[in-house]
Amino acid sequence: MFSICKQERDSEGREVIELGMDLKRVKAMLMAAPVVFVLVGYFMGMPLIMMAVMLVFLVAAFAVIGFPALASIASGSNLRVTLDSKAGKLLVATASGQSEIRMAELAKAEFSSSISTSTDSDNNTRETTVYRLEFVKKNGERVPAMAAYSSVYSLDDQGKMAAAINAALKRQMV
């Protein structure tokens, strides 16, 4: 997975926990792809001039199409939770918008899972476990942080985010 969990303070001193794509790793893999293609061409006996043209074309294609598309996808996959202790609110920002929840109502944060089923063109069915961040209120009600489930984030980073939010919530309640 190419996700990363970051925890920091914003300019107003609020605790911010963010889960998103690790663009450095994704960019490194994208930059390596043209080199891999050229190496495959070399071992297949492709002429050097053809490999050079292919390398230039692939690098240009990634620069013009790949990196802007990557930036767009990455910005849409970020999940940002800001704990505003002064206002007593937890702010959740996703690609679909922003919401807020009163911290006094919350018991904990956790990632819930669901099974997503898809069928390919050959009628083969595939099941994938997908996740989303949910807040559990003290009365047991669950409030989803985002509308949709996703498989973008690694389980490790999801655990880190939930643990960081729960630790921050405990600090705010003291």
Contact 132, 112 (CB under 8 A): yes
Contacts of 35 (CB under 8 A, 6+ apart): 55
pLDDT digits (tens, 9 = 90+) for 51-73: 788 778 877 877 777 667 666 65
pLDDT at 42: 80
DSSP 117: E
Verdict on whether the full-model pTM lies above 0.85? no
Q: Where do the structural domains in the chain lie, given as residue ranges?
A: 1-174
Among 62, 97, 92, residue whose Cα is nearest residue 76: 97
pLDDT digits (tens, 9 = 90+) for 39-54: 888 888 888 788 788 7
